[in-house]
Amino acid sequence: MADLEAHGLYLGYGRRPVLENVNLRLSSPYFLVVMGPNGAGKSTFLRGVVGLLKPLKGKILVYGYEPWKDKKSVRALVGYVPQLMNIHEEVPITVEEIVAMGLLSKLPPPRLISSRIKELVSEVLELVGMKGYGSKFFNQLSGGQQKRVLIASALIRRPRALVLDEPGSMLDFKARCELNQLIEKIHLSRGTDVIVTSHELPSCMKIEPIVMLINRKVHGIGKVKEVLRRDLLVKAYPGMTEREGILILGEDHVKH
129-166 pLDDT per residue, tens: 999 999 999 989 999 999 999 999 999 999 999 999 99
Q: Is residue 111 part of a domain?
A: no
Q: Is residue 16 part of a domain?
A: yes
Q: Is residue 55 part of a domain?
A: yes
Q: Domain containing 246: what range?
A: 4-84+161-255
Q: Is the pLDDT of residue 8 over 90?
A: yes
The pTM for the full model equals 0.90
Q: Is residue 35 part of a domain?
A: yes
> The CATH number of the domain where 237 resides is what?
3.40.50.300
* Number of domains present in the structure of the chain: 1
- Tell me: cis bond preceding 110? Omega within 30 of 0 counts: yes
Distance CA 82, CA 182 (A): 17
